[in-house]
Amino acid sequence: MSQSVHRAVTILVACAANPRRLGELADELAVHKSTALRLLQALEEHDFVRRTEDGLWAIGFGFTDVAFTALDGIDVRAAAHPWLRRMVRELGHTLHLAELSGSDVVYVDKMEGHGAVRMKSRVGAVAQTHTASVAKVVLAFAPPELREAALASASFQKFTPTTITTPAALTREFDEIRERGWAVDDGEFEDYINCVAVPIRGHTGAVVAGLSLTALRAIEPLAELKQHIPRLTHAATQISRELGWDGHKGLDSQPVT
C-alpha cells in the first residue's frame, strides 16, 4: 500500500545517513532517475529535502523543523525540560529523558553536562532495554505484558563484565528496581560510564517516562552518583505533578512481595 510514500521515506532515510546524488538514490530504490527526481521535487516543496552546494540531496530543514515541533509537543518533554536545564547547571552531569512507546523506551530529550563526555545516545533513538538505567526503570514499572514484550525483544548483548545477559537476571533487576524506586547502570554498556534513573508518572499514576543522570566513573563513582538520587527524585516528582499526577503512588509502584 502507498508505494510512493514508502519510496519517499526510503529516500529520506538514505539522505539522512549521508547526502547522495540523484543516480545513487534511483539505484537504491530500483527506480528510474525520473521517478526518484519527482519524489525529491515533491519533498523539496515542503523543505523535507534540499540540494547541497555541490548538488547532492540532503535532509531539508523543514524536516528537522517538524521533528523539533513534534518533540516540543510531547508534554513530558515540555514539563521536564526546565528541570533538565536546572539540574545540568547544578550537577554538571548529562541528563536524559526517555518515554515509553509501545514496549520500547525512547530518548525524547538530552542535555549534555559540562564535561566533554560524548554519549552514544541520541534523541529519537531506542534505549537499550538491558543496559540503560532509564529503560530499566520505566520497564520495571510497566504493565507485565509490556515488560514481557521488552524482555522478548531485548538483545542481551554483553558489552561489559556487568552487563545483564539473561531474561531471568533482568527480571530480578526489575523487581529490585520496583522495590527501591530507582535504577542504576553500573557500567553495563560502557564500563567507564554510570547512570542512575528514576520514574516519572502520568496523570493516571502509571510510569510514563524516566529521568536519568549520567557521569564518568572517573569523575564521580556510582556511590557518589547515588547521592544525587533524592534530587533526581524531587525533579521527577515535580514533573509528574505537572503531568497531572495527584501524588498518590500508582498501583504498579507497590513493592512486589
Partner DNA sequence: CACGCCGTTGCGTATTTTGCAACGGCAGTA
Partner DNA sequence: TACTGCCGTTGCAAAATACGCAACGGCGTG
**Residue 78 burial by Cβ neighbours in a 10 Å radius (0-12, 13-18, 19+):** middle
Q: How far apart are CA 241 and CA 246, in angstroms?
A: 6
What whole-number distance in Å separates Cα of residue 210 and Cα of residue 147?
A: 15
Q: CB under 7 A: which stretch of 19-27, 105-113, 135-143, 163-171 binds DNA?
A: 19-27
Residue closer to DNA by CB (options 23, 221) is: 23
The answer to the question of residue 37 lying near DNA (CB under 7 A) is: yes
Q: What is the spatial distance between Cα 242 and Cα 236, in angstroms, rounded to a whole number? A: 10
Beta bridge partners of 195: 185, 214
DSSP state of 253: G
**Does 73 interact with its own copies (rule: CB under 8 A)?**
yes
- Give me the least distance between CB of 47 and DNA, in Å please: 16
**Would you state the cell numbers that stand for residue 91, as one nine-digit string?**
550537577
Taking the least distance from each CB to its own copies, the nearer of 5 and 169 is: 5
Residue type, 13: V
Task: Measure the N-to-C terminal CA separation of the chain; round to a whole number of Å.
Answer: 49
Is the Cβ of residue 55 or residue 73 nearer to DNA in the bound state? 55
Q: Write the single-letter amino acid at 12.
A: L
In this structure, how many other beta carbons lie within 10 angstroms of the beta carbon of residue 250?
A: 17
Smallest gap from residue 7 Cβ to DNA (A): 6
The listed partner (DNA, its own copies, none) that binds 83, CB under 5 to 8 Å by sort, is its own copies
Q: Is 50 in the site for DNA (CB under 7 A)?
A: no
Among 57, 63, 182, 189, binds its own copies (CB under 8 A): 63
Of 66, 117, 119, 219, the residue at the interface with its own copies (CB under 8 A) is 66
The nearest distance, CB 128 to DNA, in angstroms, is 30
Copy the grid coordinates of residue 138: 520505566
Provide the minimum distance between the beta carbon of 99 and its own copies in the complex, in angstroms, as a whole number: 9
Site for DNA contains 21 (CB under 7 A)? yes
Helix or strand (DSSP H, E) at 44: helix 33-45
108 touches 77 (CB < 8 A):
yes
From DNA, its own copies, none, which one binds at residue 117 (CB under 5 to 8 Å depending on kind)?
A: none
**32 sits near its own copies (criterion: CB under 8 A):** no
Do residues 29 and 20 make contact, with C-beta atoms less than 8 angstroms apart? no
* Residues of this chain, 83-112, that bind DNA according to CB under 7 A: none
Asked whether the beta carbons of 209 and 140 are under 8 A apart, the reply is no
- Alpha carbon 9 to its chain centroid, in Å, reads 22
Choosing from 25, 106, 213, 229, the residue that interacts with its own copies (CB under 8 A) is 106
Residues near DNA (CB under 7 A): 1-5, 7, 21-23, 31-35, 37-39, 55
Provide the binding-site residues for its own copies, judged by CB under 8 A. Answer: 1-2, 4-6, 8-9, 12-13, 15-19, 38-39, 41-43, 45-46, 48, 50, 52-54, 58-59, 61-74, 78-79, 81-83, 101-102, 104, 106, 114, 116, 122-126, 143, 145-146, 203, 242, 244
